[in-house]
């Protein structure tokens, strides 16, 4: 079985701390992973910034986060941030990279990598946006934002007995 991994390529590496998580999973379950290593995070950051600001033809945002996704809200609300400029120190390319805090950076990295690995290739398909914009029979038209009650299915899927 081949698995397309949208996660961090480092999980496939063996370091001085031992094998990465994906290596361990592969050893136990005999799975084969394919991943892509990105030389720099800049294109992914630019992609996510653009998608967050973008709206589809119907006026809805491309990127919506459920109110219970508190880690994602926290990451996008300032948990994933750039370092404060230090007085007297020049701004360098490294000082313009987000701070790795061990929590919010993992959430934000996941969004960035999913965008680069899955959204970007799909968005290059000329029919992709057309299919996304089609009304689904029995559902509200896409030109209206979902009400709080319409998000209930997410609560049931994420939190059993919600």
Pick from 134, 3, 9, 146: which is nearest to 67 by CA?
Answer: 146
What's the pLDDT score for residue 147?
57
A 10 A CB-CB count for 88 gives: 5
Mean of the pLDDT values across residues 5-14?
72
Collapse the DSSP code of 17 into the 3-class scheme (helix H, G, I; strand E, B; otherwise coil) and give the result: coil
Average pLDDT, the chain: 75
What six digits make up the tokens of 136?
């689904």
Question: Do 44 and 113 meet the contact criterion of CB atoms below 8 Å apart?
Answer: yes
pTM above 0.75, yes or no: no
């Amino acid at each position: 079985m081949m698995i397309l991994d949208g996660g961090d390529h480092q999980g496939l590496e063996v370091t001085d701390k031992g094998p990465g998580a994906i290596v361990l999973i592969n050893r136990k379950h005999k799975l084969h992973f394919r991943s892509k290593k990105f030389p720099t995070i800049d294109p992914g950051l630019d992609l996510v910034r653009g998608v967050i600001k973008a709206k589809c033809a119907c006026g809805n945002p491309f990127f919506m986060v459920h109110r219970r996704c508190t880690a994602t809200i926290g990451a996008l609300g300032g948990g994933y941030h750039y370092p404060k400029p230090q007085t007297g120190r020049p701004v360098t390319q490294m000082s313009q990279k987000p701070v790795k805090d061990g929590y919010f950076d993992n959430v934000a990295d996941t969004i960035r990598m999913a965008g680069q690995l899955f959204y970007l290739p799909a968005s290059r398909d000329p029919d992709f946006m057309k299919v996304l914009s089609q009304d689904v029979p029995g559902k509200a038209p896409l030109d209206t934002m979902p009400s709080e009650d319409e998000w209930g299915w997410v609560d049931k899927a994420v939190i059993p007995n919600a």
